[in-house]
Amino acid sequence: MDGPGCRRSRRGRDRSLPVSARARAPAGAAPRPRPARQPHHDHRWPRHAAPANTLPRTRPARRHPRLGSRRRPPAPRARRRAPREAAAAAGRSTPGRQRWRAQCAFTGVRGGPGMNMATPLRLAQGSDWCFGWWHAPEGPARALSVVLCPPIGYEAVFSYPTQVQLARHLAGLGLPVLRFDYHGTGDSAGEDTQPGRVDAWIDSVQRAVAEARRRSGHGAVALLGIRLGAALAVEAAARLGGVDSLLLWAPCPTGRSFLREMRAAGEVGEDGSLHAFGHHFSQETVRDLDALDARKPACRPAQRALVVMRDDMAVAGPLPGALRAAGVDVHEATLEGYAAMVSGEPGGGVLQASALDELAGWLLASPAALPAPSMPAGSPPCQAVARIDAVLERTVFVGPQQQLVGVLAEPAVPDEQRRRTGVILLNIGANYRIGPHRFYVKTARALAAAGWRTLRLDLAGIGDSPPQPGKPWASLYDRDATQDVRHAMDALAAQGCRDFVLMGACSGSYVAFQTAQADPRVGGLVLMNSRLLEWQPGQPGDRWQDSMQRHAKSTDYYLKAAFTREPWQRLLRGQINVRLIASRFADVARARLERLVAGPAKDTLLGRMQALCRRGCDVLMLVSDADDGRDYVEFHFGAAGRRMREQRNFEMRYVASADHTFSRPGNQAQVVPMLLARMEQRMQSPPGRARKGSPPAAEARAAPT
């Protein structure tokens, strides 16, 4: 996180918070498997795993027995079918069949052996709908439904892989599960700037409970709440008159404790509002959160509850005792997996089998979790298309087996009035399709309102898309991801799109650039805060592959900061990592010297970008002025893109006062108009020609379009 007062150790860890705030593995835990070494990726915002838990320390709670250890694990999923090339060689994938696959993807049809058959749904209440997934039980169903209440803020993004894995595991044991996004979060309608946020979140839980009961045909419901979602679950359960079970994982017992953690690394406005990790909490939201207290439910919220403490900080706090006083049968446990879940690392959110068994075992021990005598035949129909003002949204499945998940935003006009350029937004790091701080949601809806079909795609192994065969999770800098993008273009082409613009930040820009070289249908690129556009594991030829492993700001930022007082004061206090800054300057100088000595190379990144532009591909590079990737892009393309000045359809623009993921107040309001203006300019000028009306890059440093 690039914010005021942020300090980093030699290894790049944020040291602006106490040691208790940094994620760490529990003592004696087996080491987790690590993915292949990849360049430093941006998805680890904020750099620390979680703010400090400020509750008073108490004695460790007694663990309850692992009730789920006796149950047999679900049967392993079948292997996927052969990829498209193998099917074509066998004569099974004709062009007509491929067109049918692309078309059925947009009707919600999903199939293929081993596919998780989760059904997208919208908890509708006019235009204020909430997005969700229904995981129908596999095999004999249980009469207990589980509603998963996610965290709020960055923890909701980091824990998303855990939520998906947990829902699939419970459904495999016969427990139907409903996952959802609160109103104004995730894929749901609404914004965090709207009034009545806390009541809207609690109402979202109540809607989810009603939908779970309707779909399962049974009234028994368990609420599984994570972090602030636990407090919201308790309050919603009390308003509903009680539920069967409450499973509260690393709960924030009060809204006040949650706000205390957010303020530790956030920015407090003069009016009392709070901006933390890219998420805004208005003055009203702060006031309502301050009044939220799960320790004082209005009535008995559940018959039984399990309070699962963090493995990196086993502090029970007063919540278990308060629930007991309300008449709830409370169990306490410490579960491994929280610290890894909020680390943001690829595969960090994958729970171990023992943790899954412990959670599932406790839920299955409920008297209500008996085999269901009957279940409704099939899932009730869901709202396939939802409307937000002038935009229509629907969930789509693309790929040979419809295995890749995306959300398509379209203008609410007749098809003949829609523009024939499709836009695809690609994952940044391990963040799922909403992007950092819902940046992609806002961008997609703005583009759709202006006439462009815009798809927010989950690449394989990210979000709700399963990983590629043989890979436990996504490889962020992997050329295989280009095939996922081409599947998405196939599906959009079946809907009438003739060319495509790919947009991505950091690792998403890498996938976009690689896809554009492989597929001539890509007519435009928007590359935001790129750190690497070429990645060759095991080849030390590009010095940047090692340099970008170390998080630092741009050299331009440090040169300007040297003439201000505040950095020198921090230096005297020992809050600045001098060695890291010196290594960044050394890397830049060494790379320039090596290029000067070696002379011009035939096959360079500059040459490949020039070839794309000569082909007619329109390229816009957005660079935050202090971002560490600025040195990389300026090394290859020159300051303000001067080494690309002969290519009139290339432009590099700087975004003032922005961080790597556009998390600061006003960043997204600055960038989204830039993207809209560029798309309009692209429509007015033929490919490969000058963009009339496009301001020079140097003039774009300080203000948005």
- What would you measure as the largest C-alpha separation in the chain, in angstroms? 78
Contact 463, 160 (CB under 8 A): yes
Distance from C-alpha of 611 to C-alpha of 338, rounded to nearest angstrom: 46
Q: How much is the pLDDT for 376?
A: 59
Edge-to-edge strands of the sheet including 453-457? 386-388, 391-398, 404-411, 453-457, 421-426, 499-505, 522-528, 618-624, 650-655
Domain boundaries, the chain: 123-371
Give the mean pLDDT of the chain: 79
DSSP label at 367? T
Closest CA to 615 of 492, 518, 535: 518
pTM of the prediction? Answer: 0.80
Burial class (CB within 10 angstroms; exposed 0-12, middle 13-18, buried 19+) of 113: exposed
Tell me whether strands 499-505 and 522-528 are parallel, antiparallel or unpaired.
parallel
Closest CA to 461 of 148, 82, 43, 121: 43
Instruction: Convert the pLDDT of each residue in 376-387 to its tens digit.
Output: 555 555 567 899
Instruction: Convert the pLDDT of each residue in 617-637 to its tens digit.
Output: 999 999 998 888 888 888 889
Residue that the structure tokens 């959802």 belong to: 180
Edge-to-edge strands of the sheet including 274-276? 267-268, 274-276, 279-281
Q: How much is the pLDDT for 136?
A: 95
Q: How much is the pLDDT for 697?
A: 37
Distance from C-alpha of 423 to C-alpha of 417, rounded to nearest angstrom: 16
- β-bridge partners, 499: 421
Query: What is the token pair recorded at 173?
Result: 């044991």
Distance from C-alpha of 98 to C-alpha of 94, rounded to nearest angstrom: 6
Query: What is the token pair recorded at 46?
Result: 């904020």
CATH 3.40.50.1820 fits 123-371, yes or no: yes
Q: How much is the pLDDT for 102?
A: 43
Give the H or E element holding residue 557. helix 555-561
Tally the C-alpha atoms within 13 A of residue 3's C-alpha that lie toward its C-beta.
24
Tell me the CA distances in angstroms from 553 to 13, 501, 523, 621, 668, one per residue in order: 14, 29, 32, 18, 20
Tell me the CA distances in angstroms from 12 to 33, 46, 578, one per residue in order: 21, 12, 12
Q: How much is the pLDDT for 292?
A: 97
Q: How much is the pLDDT for 701?
A: 35
**Residues sharing a CB contact under 8 Å with residue 89, sequence separation 6 or more, in sequence order:** none
Sign (positive or negative) of CA dihedral 123, 125, 130, 131: positive
Q: Which residues of the chain fall short of a pLDDT of 50?
A: 1-29, 32-37, 40-115, 540-541, 688-705
Q: How much is the pLDDT for 346?
A: 64
Q: How much is the pLDDT for 543?
A: 59
Q: How much is the pLDDT for 41?
A: 46
Distance from C-alpha of 633 to C-alpha of 631, rounded to nearest angstrom: 6
Closest CA to 402 of 116, 648, 145: 116
Distance from C-alpha of 345 to C-alpha of 351, rounded to nearest angstrom: 13
Residue that the structure tokens 């943001």 belong to: 344
Closest CA to 371 of 609, 574, 139: 139
